[in-house]
Structure 1
């Protein structure tokens, strides 16, 4: 069950609107997110003929992707992107793209040319250039999924690193979590979305949540879509 929903304006940056939702169980957050994704897809396809979703990595998204594997949807009109990935071989178990494919995407009928993995195996510079070209012609995303690290990072936007909005996808150097080389979609491009959901689970995220709600400028506050962000939480208190 979902409880204790409220809305706050985070002062840094001043244009981020965050709506906070606390869930009592992991299954509740999974089921609510699943329904939200499918509803967004139905609405987008009915209104615009396509649904574009940006995926997050991590254990909570993985459990939701496992539910999507068995869902009924108009898969032919889904277009799938990623918010970041690690510069590792395509078959490395730490790749976000591999997790999404093995858990969900390989089991549904989304056309292969509508699944857009970040080519991080090319290295962070060349891979970012290639993914920026992929995103260049993509209209506003319909739904972006994001996580939150214990240090407040989201996608591969880390604290105390230079903000880079020079392209839709940018290289990351010296990430504080291995591997050091990564590619991330820029905060400006992630903010160009009709809906954004942060999935925040586990007591280890408590400090980051506290900072966010108290107006500290953690990377998560860089995501500023016009319609605000929804933060789905389990295992933290506020």
Structure 2
């Protein structure tokens, strides 16, 4: 009798008893990815989302294994607002993480606040930031981040890629804009799937009972096509889900014990 094995880049589901356990293990995971990247090429390229994610990175604060001087941080998506606006992902990440650690500020790559009135130019400007970092160093057509950390909304959106939106089919641009986000604020820029899916590691962080039904659809029925289910890393990239037991309560997809 033959046995069907999941593909080598199939999602790895990690479920923790509570948020504190998730935060601790997520910090270990990030520091391992960081260590391997720095040992290989002297720097760590990471892209972050907003939402609840910055708060769940608190395990990195005061962590002596983190080599902040080697971090280069980008944003998976950003709201088109001033950097100090309450809706800004950069502001959230700064308040919850960067203001509490010794990371060089010039290695945190924000949108250009002088281009907020021109979405096309704003997205193009941020794409050029990626080109400066990646285009001359990687043979791939798209940038290869060491790690991309994503959140997931109750509607299954991730980054600023929403159900039914035309950007779900964008296959050429690295960074795209939208001005009709169903979740305010309406104007945003976002990485496209090709950029996300070319990362060496991608990790969703989704906790709480309000995520349970959506997570069930994404992992048990990915054919439904929710935006988060469309994150499928290009081999040899790896995809992980860091969740708590409340979020995975309805999921049949097999859970994997956490280990480094």
Q: TM-score interval w.r.t. the shorter chain?
A: 0.7 to 0.9
Contact conserved, 2:86 with 2:92, CA < 8 A, in 1? yes
How many angstroms does 1:126 deviate by?
A: 2.1
Contiguous gaps of at least 5 residues in structure 2: 135-143, 252-260
Q: CA contact under 8 A between 1:86 and 1:96: conserved in structure 2?
A: yes
Corresponding position: 1:127 with 2:122: yes
Residue equivalent to 2:59? 67
Shift in CA distance, 179/26, structure 1 to aligned 2, threshold 3 Å: same
CA contact (8 A) 1:85 1:183 kept: yes
Q: How many residue pairs are counted as aligned between the two chains?
A: 226
| Pairwise CA RMSD | 1.9
Q: Which runs of 5+ in 1 are unaligned?
A: 1-6, 10-14
| Greater fraction of residues in strand | 1
Q: After superposing the two structures, state which structure 1 stretch, 119-128 or 141-150, moved more.
A: 119-128
Query: Would the aligned equivalents of 1:188 and 1:223 in 2 still touch at CA under 8 Å?
Result: no
Match in the other structure for 2:205: 199
Cα deviation for residue 8 of structure 1 reads 5.7
Contact 1:129–1:169 (Cα < 8 Å) also in 2: yes
Q: Is the 8 A contact 2:23 2:58 kept in 1?
A: no
Q: Secondary structure at the match of 1:126?
A: helix
Alignment of 1:92-103 (within 5 A): 92-103=85-96
Aligned to 2:177: 171
Deviation, structure 1 residue 181: 0.8
Deviations 1:15-51 (A, max 9, x none): 9721112111001111110111111111110111110
Q: Distance in 2 between matches of 1:82 and 1:200?
A: 18
Q: TM-score, normalised to structure 1's length? A: 0.88
TM-score by length of 2: 0.81
The reply on whether 1:219 has 2:227 as its aligned counterpart is yes
